[in-house]
Amino acid sequence: MRLAKFAASIACASAAIVVDAGLTAATAATPASTMQLLDAAAIAARCDTELANVRAAKKAIESKKGAGIFADWNRLSMQFADFANPVYLLQNVSPEKATRDAAQACLEKLLPFETEMSQSEPLYRRVRATVPSDAIDKVFKQDLIEKFEDGGATLPPDKRKRAQEIADEVERLGLQFSKNVNEDPTTVVLTLAEASGMPEAWIAARKRDANGNLLLGLDYPTVVPFLQNATSEVARRKVWLAKNREGGEQNLVLLDRALKLRYELSQLHGVPDFATYAIKRRMAQTPAAVNDFLGKVQAAVDEVEARELAELREDKAKVTGTDPASPMLYRWDVPFHQERVRRARFQIDQEALRAYFPTDKSVEFAMKLAERLYGIAFVERKVPTWHEDVRYYDVIERLPSGKNGAFIGGAYLDLYPREGKYNHAAAFSVRAGSTLTKRTPISALVTNFNRKGLDHDELETLLHEFGHVLHGVLSKTRYVDQSGTSVKRDFVEAPSQMFEEWARREEPFKLFAEICPECPRLTSAQIKQLDASRKYGQGTRFARQREYAAYDMKLHTGVPPAAMSTWAELEGKTRLGHIEGSLFPANFGHLMGGYAAGYYGYMWSQVLALDMLSAFDGKLMSLDVGRRYRQAILAQGGQRPPHELVEAFLGRKPTSDAFYAEITGRRN
Ligand SMILES: [Zn+2]
């Protein structure tokens, strides 16, 4: 997923599941390229049997002796994920509430199995006794040993049992948390007058009540344009507050409980806190390294943010006819005034961009970019899916002759909002690949786009998530547990963040003109303006991202403080302050879905993303570099440490220069 979107200025965030939150790999040695579709009855009927089957398979490999444990583990991991991953996806995307509920109930049963694997002493012994035959097996062995250590295989029995209980409860809390956000029934009622400033198409697309009032849900295509364009401050405040309360007070209780449990887990392992426990397995290695990084980010963006907010305040004074020194700037003002300043200064109107980027054509653009850069082809196939809007594509090799070659994997696209659906943007791994078993990967792109067209931020979101999909689908790892996006959490965003750049440059946009000759076309000057407009607001955006990351670190350092009051205090010290009644932590899904003590990873990954970009030397459509990148980074998944992958791709040690230039708006 992208960054946590809301609470901040709109420019910021998109939270989400990202990639493999919780569950690991995926499926069986079936040649099928598509996933099995299960309804509520099928999930309920099969759940216990599937679980019994994997438990039996685990028992069988525990009693085996000698070599072969890596292949055994791989098979078992696939068997488990073949059932669990589709269920996990359906819990987030099924249009049927009964299916989502059945999926959640089933996941609660299935999730303990992962901990059971990582707590198995016999499996641990087999792994330890295995001598790796090459560098890939060496990394895999190390990964497994860490999994056993973190899961509790090395703890005394009473502590091990408690570690399992904690892991299970934290997973259950996470499922409930995201369900509360996805299914939040809040509707904001607005009069037509309160929607002043909104384009007619937006107004026409809204539901109405009997009195003709507009009924607003909390999905992005509804909320984001409203905050950018609605002239009524009172109405913006109403909508902003509703969005920031998504998930509700109930989620604060779940979050506090998860924090306590994670702390307890760290104590079982004899480390000071959860941040230490989690970060030691990542690129950053220690909380001190993360805090140091966040300090540097703050120092870099502080003045930029102050300058940007002063400009927005000035704009508000102009609009409201007050003294420039006096108007208070609130969080619901930021997107609105940023948008006004962007329009005036760069002649960029986000709403008007939708005509340039029709949603269908934008998706085709993302696929064509990947086809050219990586020598592949997307071929649509009609297959059964969970909703009529969902599309499926086979991904195949495109030979130099122009003919189609071997089948690589599959991709589902679920693009538009609907009731009860996962409400951010994310890529789900439905099935992870393994060369050992000739198993091909499947990924699913899940977004909530406007049906007609995308604004520029959404076009970037599309390419970002598509970057995750490609990381999954183009993976050629030996083992499923190292496939695609199964990399270190503070590296996972790098390929997706890098791919956003293809929505910012003239060369790739030429391809858009090929795909849609009838679409209005951006001139070179407009593309430059678009990028300048994007950079406007970087200070505010990265200051906010740093706050999120610092908050996440604070919650996971030492004995956990209460989540809500800690947020109110931390946010209260920022330039825009804390808004009484807002509940950002209740919908900060990253904290519950795999980014605990890991939100910093977005910015950490971006250092590497922007550095890797330098290999293209400004020529984003370079086939040579594209193919080299596919082999060196995307195909490798997690089978080599990220710093080695990046260094091998760049031919030098990574640097953070491009990142600091980007966050201060200096990068060209
Ligand atoms: Zn992402």
Could you read off the pLDDT of 510-527 as tens digits, one per residue? 999 999 999 999 999 999
State the angle between helix axes of 524-535 and 334-346 in degrees (0 to 180), rounded to the nearest 10.
Answer: 150
Distance from residue 540's CA to the centre of ligand 1 (Å): 20
Distance from residue 547's CA to the centre of ligand 1 (Å): 18
Distance from residue 353's CA to the centre of ligand 1 (Å): 23
What does the pLDDT look like over 350-371, one tens digit per residue? 889 999 999 999 999 999 999 9
- Rounded to whole angstroms, what are the CA distances from 393 to 94, 205, 390? 19, 29, 10
Q: How confident is the model at residue 20 (pLDDT cuts 50, 70, 90)?
A: very low
Q: How confident is the model at residue 668 (pLDDT cuts 50, 70, 90)?
A: low
What does the pLDDT look like over 202-232, one tens digit per residue? 999 999 999 999 999 999 889 999 999 999 9
Provide mean pLDDT across the span 531-539: 91
Taking the C-alpha atoms of residue 70 and residue 51, their distance in angstroms, rounded to an integer, is: 21
CA angle 446, 429, 60 (to 5 degrees): 150
Distance from residue 603's CA to the centre of ligand 1 (Å): 11
Burial of 344 (0-12, 13-18, 19+ CB in 10 A): exposed
Residue 76 has pLDDT above 60, yes or no: yes
Any idea which of 24-38, 363-377, 559-573, 611-625 has the lowest mean pLDDT?
24-38
Q: Annotate 459-528 with three-state secondary structure.
A: HHHHHHHHHHHHHHHCCCCCCHHHCCCCCCCCCCCHHHHHHHHHHCCHHHHHHHHHHCCCCCCCCHHHHH
Q: What is the share, in percent, of the chain residues with pLDDT greater than 90?
A: 89
What does the pLDDT look like over 293-316, one tens digit per residue? 999 999 999 999 999 999 999 999
Q: Residue 70's Cα: distance from chain center in Å?
A: 29
Distance from residue 148's CA to the centre of ligand 1 (Å): 27
CA angle 120, 122, 126 (to 5 degrees): 115
Residue 186 has pLDDT above 80, yes or no: yes
Distance from residue 129's CA to the centre of ligand 1 (Å): 37
**pLDDT at residue 1 in the model:** 62
Neighbours of 66 (CB within 10 A): 8
Q: What is the pTM of this model?
A: 0.92
Top-confidence residue, 538 or 18:
538
Q: Tell me the pairing of strands 391-398 and 188-190.
A: unpaired
Q: How confident is the model at residue 21 (pLDDT cuts 50, 70, 90)?
A: very low
Distance from residue 602's CA to the centre of ligand 1 (Å): 8
Distance from residue 113's CA to the centre of ligand 1 (Å): 26
Residue 23 has pLDDT above 90, yes or no: no
Distance from residue 496's CA to the centre of ligand 1 (Å): 6
**pLDDT at residue 19 in the model:** 34
**pLDDT at residue 173 in the model:** 96
Instruction: Name the token pair of 659.
Output: 């990142």
Any idea which of 8-12, 254-258, 592-596 has the lowest mean pLDDT?
8-12
Provide mean pLDDT across the span 490-509: 96
Residue 13 has pLDDT above 60, yes or no: no
**pLDDT at residue 594 in the model:** 84
**pLDDT at residue 2 in the model:** 59
Residue 249 has pLDDT above 70, yes or no: yes
Provide mean pLDDT across the span 641-667: 93
Distance from residue 268's CA to the centre of ligand 1 (Å): 31
Top-confidence residue, 665 or 286:
286
Please report, in angstroms and rounded to a whole number, the separation of the first and last CA atoms in the chain.
25
Distance from residue 476's CA to the centre of ligand 1 (Å): 20
**pLDDT at residue 286 in the model:** 98
| Contact in structure between 570 and 554 (CB atoms under 8 Å) | yes
Q: How confident is the model at residue 3 (pLDDT cuts 50, 70, 90)?
A: low
Distance from residue 18's CA to the centre of ligand 1 (Å): 5
Residues pairing with 407 in the sheet = 396
Residue 244 has pLDDT above 70, yes or no: yes
**pLDDT at residue 307 in the model:** 95
Taking the C-alpha atoms of residue 187 and residue 223, their distance in angstroms, rounded to an integer, is: 11
Q: E strands within 274-418?
A: 376-380, 391-398, 404-414
Q: Tell me the pairing of strands 426-431 and 391-398.
A: unpaired
Distance from residue 468's CA to the centre of ligand 1 (Å): 7
Provide mean pLDDT across the span 637-646: 96
Distance from residue 64's CA to the centre of ligand 1 (Å): 39
Distance from residue 414's CA to the centre of ligand 1 (Å): 16
Distance from residue 418's CA to the centre of ligand 1 (Å): 21
Residue in the structure block whose two tokens are 């999120």 = 548
| Contact in structure between 51 and 109 (CB atoms under 8 Å) | yes
What does the pLDDT look like over 332-343, one tens digit per residue? 999 999 999 999
What does the pLDDT look like over 391-435, one tens digit per residue? 999 999 999 898 999 999 999 999 999 999 998 899 999 999 999
**pLDDT at residue 8 in the model:** 29
CA angle 400, 405, 408 (to 5 degrees): 120
Q: How confident is the model at residue 14 (pLDDT cuts 50, 70, 90)?
A: very low
Provide mean pLDDT across the span 68-83: 96
Q: What is the mean pLDDT of the chain?
A: 92
Q: How confident is the model at residue 627 (pLDDT cuts 50, 70, 90)?
A: very high
Distance from residue 465's CA to the centre of ligand 1 (Å): 6
Residue 140 has pLDDT above 60, yes or no: yes
**pLDDT at residue 245 in the model:** 97
Neighbours of 382 (CB within 10 A): 7
Provide mean pLDDT across the span 634-656: 96
Residue 109 has pLDDT above 80, yes or no: yes
Distance from residue 661's CA to the centre of ligand 1 (Å): 21
Residue in the structure block whose two tokens are 């009855």 = 41
Distance from residue 4's CA to the centre of ligand 1 (Å): 10
Q: How confident is the model at residue 31 (pLDDT cuts 50, 70, 90)?
A: very low
Residue 10 has pLDDT above 60, yes or no: no
Distance from residue 23's CA to the centre of ligand 1 (Å): 16
415: left (phi over 0), alpha (psi -120 to 50) or beta: alpha
Taking the C-alpha atoms of residue 87 and residue 104, their distance in angstroms, rounded to an integer, is: 8
Distance from residue 2's CA to the centre of ligand 1 (Å): 4
Distance from residue 282's CA to the centre of ligand 1 (Å): 17
- Rounded to whole angstroms, what are the CA distances from 80 to 47, 431, 575? 11, 11, 48
**pLDDT at residue 32 in the model:** 57
Distance from residue 155's CA to the centre of ligand 1 (Å): 34
